[in-house]
């Protein structure tokens, strides 16, 4: 089984931006669940959540993540934090080199405003979900990277985790 590098974290944390930089520096393909979903479904996650509900979006996100992990060539995968909510999602994260990207709520709220592909979320729901998911991340990711720093610094932190893990038997 190929052990992919997986970046997971809340909406607006910078998974796609940091993932693209990590993939470029490691000379690996980038698989982005938001892009995969939009390509396959013809709609953004926000549009799916609005028409079919958040639970449906989360099921689609989990299916997209599972599909990406089955690809045979080593890749950098960025996926939604909602995969943490399902036991199968947590198992998939454990089977790969998964890293939780984290940021404070103020930073997340500011970044979420920049993307129309993101579903609207109330601050109280975001705080609750991020707290719960960050706790879950401790059991299925190998490290946490503070994504409030610049992209270069975050990418280097992720690469440090990848290099350390590759040296560990």
Is residue 141 within 8 Å of residue 96, measured between CB atoms? no
Q: Is residue 5 within a helix (H) or strand (E), and if so which, with residue range?
A: strand 5-9
If one counts the domains in the chain, the total is: 1
In eight-state DSSP terms, residue 148 is T
Collapsed DSSP state (helix, strand, coil) of residue 64? helix
Residue 134 sits in which domain range? 5-167
How far, CA to CA in Å, does 152 sit from each of 68, 76, 128?
25, 16, 29
113: left (phi over 0), alpha (psi -120 to 50) or beta: alpha
pLDDT at residue 108 in the model: 63
pLDDT at residue 113 in the model: 63
Is residue 81 within 8 Å of residue 133, measured between CB atoms? yes
pLDDT at residue 18 in the model: 96
Is residue 144 within 8 Å of residue 137, measured between CB atoms? yes
Has this prediction a pTM greater than 0.85?
yes
Q: Which residues contact 92 (CB under 8 A, 6 or more apart)?
A: 65, 66, 69, 83
Task: Report the distance separating Cα 37 and Cα 96, nearest Å.
Answer: 21
Q: What are phi and psi of 83, to 5 degrees?
A: -65, -20
pLDDT at residue 90 in the model: 94
CATH of the domain at 70: 3.40.50.300
Task: List per-residue pLDDT tens for the chain, 169 residues long.
Answer: 568 999 999 878 888 999 999 999 999 999 999 999 999 999 998 889 889 998 999 999 999 999 999 999 999 999 998 999 899 999 999 999 999 998 877 776 665 666 555 555 676 776 676 778 778 888 999 999 998 888 999 999 999 999 998 877 6
In eight-state DSSP terms, residue 82 is G
pLDDT at residue 46 in the model: 83
**Structure token digits, residue 54:** 């958040």
């Amino acid at each position: 089984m190929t052990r992919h590098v997986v970046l997971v974290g809340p909406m607006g944390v910078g998974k796609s931006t940091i993932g693209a930089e990590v993939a470029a520096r490691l000379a690996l393909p980038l698989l982005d669940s938001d892009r995969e979903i939009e390509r396959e479904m013809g709609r953004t996650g926000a549009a799916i959540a609005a028409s079919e509900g958040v639970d449906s979006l989360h099921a689609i996100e989990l299916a997209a993540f599972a599909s990406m992990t089955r690809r045979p060539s080593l890749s950098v995968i960025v996926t939604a934090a909602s995969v943490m909510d399902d036991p199968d999602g947590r198992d998939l994260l454990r089977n790969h080199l998964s890293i939780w990207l984290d940021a404070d709520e103020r930073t997340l709220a500011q970044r979420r405003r920049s993307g129309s592909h993101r579903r609207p979320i109330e601050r109280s729901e975001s705080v609750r979900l991020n707290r719960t998911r960050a706790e879950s991340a401790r059991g299925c990711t190998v490290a946490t990277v503070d994504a409030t720093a610049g992209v270069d610094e975050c990418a280097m932190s992720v690469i440090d985790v990848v290099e350390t893990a590759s040296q560990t038997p």
